[in-house]
Amino acid sequence: PIPKNFTIHGVWPDHTDYIMYDCNPNKEFKKIYDKHLLNKLESRWPQLTSHEYAGLNDQTFWKYEYEKHGLCCEKVYDQSQYFDIAMKLKDSIDLLNILTTNRIVPGFQYSYTGDQISSAIKRVTQKDPNPKCT
C-alpha cells in the first residue's frame, strides 16, 4: 500500500567540490537480519517497488541506495549507522505536518508552487530545502 506520509527515498552524503556516488564499487551492502531494525526501516523507508515480504527478504532498494550513496561515507559511518541516521532524520522532521500547518495539503485538486512548498519547510527547519517534483 502507498504510505499516508512522506517516506525516505535515500540519504546522500555531500561534498562541496563534487557529487558523491558510487564511491566504493568493491564493497557491498550486508543483508540486514535484525527483525527490529527491518520493521523500523520498512515503516520509515518502505521499498515501494516490491511487496513488503519481498522487500524485507531481498532488500533490493536499501542495497541500491547504500551501495550508491552510503558507501561514500563509510569512513565516518558504517552501514548500521547510515540507516540509523536516515531514520533519525526522518523522525526529526514531520514534513506532512509542516506542510498541512502551512495550508499545503496533498491531493490532485490542489496545486502549489515550489516557492510555497520551500518557504513552508524553511519556516520550520531554518534550512533551504531542495524539493523536486515529478
Q: Which of 36, 51, 65, 67 is catalytic?
A: 65
Helices 60-68 and 79-92: crossing angle, nearest 10°?
A: 100
Whether the per-residue pLDDT at 111 is higher than 80: the answer is: yes
**Catalytic residue list contains 69:** yes
Catalytic pick among 9, 15, 36, 52: 9
pLDDT at 81: 95
State yes or no: is 36 an active-site residue.
no
Q: Which candidate, 27, 16, 12, 21, places its Cα nearest to that of 86?
A: 12
In whole angstroms, give the CA distance from residue 27 to residue 63: 11
Indicate the pTM of the whole model. Answer: 0.82
Rounded to the nearest angstrom, the gap between the alpha carbon of residue 81 and the centroid of all alpha carbons in its chain is 14
Q: Quick check: 26 pLDDT over 80?
A: yes
pLDDT class for 71, splitting at 50, 70, 90? very high
Q: What is the pLDDT of residues 75-89, one digit of tens each?
A: 899 999 999 999 999
Q: Which domains does the chain have, with CATH numbers?
A: 1-92 (3.90.730.10), 94-133 (no CATH)
Contact (Cβ atoms closer than 8 angstroms) between residue 13 and residue 102: no
| Confidence check: pLDDT of 18 > 80 | no
Q: What is the pLDDT of residue 13?
A: 84
Whether 74 is a known active-site residue: answer no
Of 42, 67, 69, 74, the active-site residue reads: 69
The rounded distance, in Å, linking the Cα atoms of 119 and 127 is 10
Residue 1 predicted with pLDDT over 70: no
